[in-house]
Each structure stands twice: as C-alpha cells, then as structure tokens.
Amino acid sequence: MKLIVGLGNPGIEYQFTPHNIGFLVLDRLAERLQVQVNNRHCKALTARGRMGEHQVLLAKPETWMNLSGLAVRELVAEHELDPRKDLIVIWDELDLPMGTLRVRERGSSAGHNGVESIIGALGTEEFTRVRVGMAPDHPVRDGARRRGAGDEPVQPQAGRSRRMTRRNKVSGVKTKWQEAMK
C-alpha cells in the first residue's frame, strides 16, 4: 500500500488558499479514483483506492499543517508502512513558479513546518515529496518579486522587517490563486 498525504489546514476558511494545495491535489486524485476523502482515521480524513497495481490510502491530516507529523506517524504505524518506499507527501512551495512540480525521494524540509513535523515524527527525511509551485509570476505589493525570476532577491524596505516582506509575497500568491480559481 502507498500512503499519499496532502498537506493543508482543516476548515472551510482555508479550503482554497495556496497553503492548502496539498489538500486540493488530493481532492483531484480522489475524484479520478472515484472515492471521497471523508473517513476519519488516525487524525486524518482518508480514502482508499487503487492506482495501477498499487492500493493507495489518501490522507488529509486534520492536525493543522504544523502538526502533520502526528497523523502521518499514526498512519504509517497503523498500516505497517516503510516511509522510504510507501509514503508520498504533497505540499505548497513559494520558491517554485506557479504550477511547477518538484519530486524528490529525500531531503530536508526546506523550511516547511508541516514537512518538518513529519520528519521529526518519523525520524527520517527519506520519503517521496512532491512540491507544488505557488510563486506568482508578477510583481507583488511594495515592488517585491519572487525569487528565481532573474531579479534580485526580495529585500526588506526601509523600516520593514523580512517578515513583512514575506507577508507581502504571500498576499501576492493569494491574489494570483484567487485569479486562477475564477
């Protein structure tokens, strides 16, 4: 069995935010498998299906993004899975252009708190991860631009902290996401 986990936050107010792209990808997979992710199991909403010759368990942790490891650890233990071979985790990535996918078999959390929680709970960085790019392809408020666009990295403006600049980047992503969802 393969465990496919989409990261996000529970609640209708977060349903279509960029940070919930893991949940949205899982919803699309469920739709294609003709299943509904609504069975409460091991602190997650789950559904079982079949992809090719593999039995799959789709899971959306209900523990909030930053505590995703609690649900993932329970699911891995309950189903006696080996994270190196059986776990796939999907999440949003602000450092990749909108719609870009990056798949890796192992690696660090890259600063993502949900992934950090999973690594801490499982005691390993060795599991397949799918990062879905959410960075805007246009300037965002206060003249900031996403990294990797050939521009200088985002620098805080006079009197503003890096945290404020990061908030501005997120606001730009939310705006782009809302435009894409129309």
Q: Which domains does the chain have, with CATH numbers?
A: 2-135 (3.40.50.1470), 138-182 (no CATH)
Tokens representing 159? 């009197």
What per-residue confidence (pLDDT) applies to 136?
75
pLDDT in tens, 115-152: 999 999 999 999 999 999 888 765 544 444 444 443 33
pLDDT band at 167 (very low <50, low <70, confident <90, very high): very low
Q: Which residue numbers are catalytic? A: 19
Task: Identify the pLDDT of residue 180.
Answer: 39
- Identify the pLDDT of residue 138: 53
- In tens, the pLDDT along 28-58 reads 999 999 999 999 999 999 999 999 999 999 9
Query: What is the CB neighbour count within 10 angstroms for residue 86?
Result: 19
pLDDT for res 48: 97
Burial (CB < 10 A; 0-12, 13-18, 19+), residue 181, is exposed
- Are residues 40 and 63 in contact, defined by beta-carbon separation less than 8 angstroms? no
Q: What is the mean pLDDT of residues 55-72?
A: 96
Distances in Å between the alpha carbon of 22 and those of 88, 131, 148, 162?
A: 11, 9, 22, 26
pLDDT beyond 50 at 173:
no
Say what the pLDDT of residue 154 is.
Answer: 34
Question: What predicted TM-score, i.e. pTM, was given to this entire model?
Answer: 0.74
Q: What is the pLDDT of residues 74-117, one digit of tens each?
A: 999 999 999 999 999 999 988 888 888 889 998 888 788 999 99
Q: Which residue has the higher pLDDT, 171 or 135?
A: 135
Element of type H or E holding 95? strand 87-97
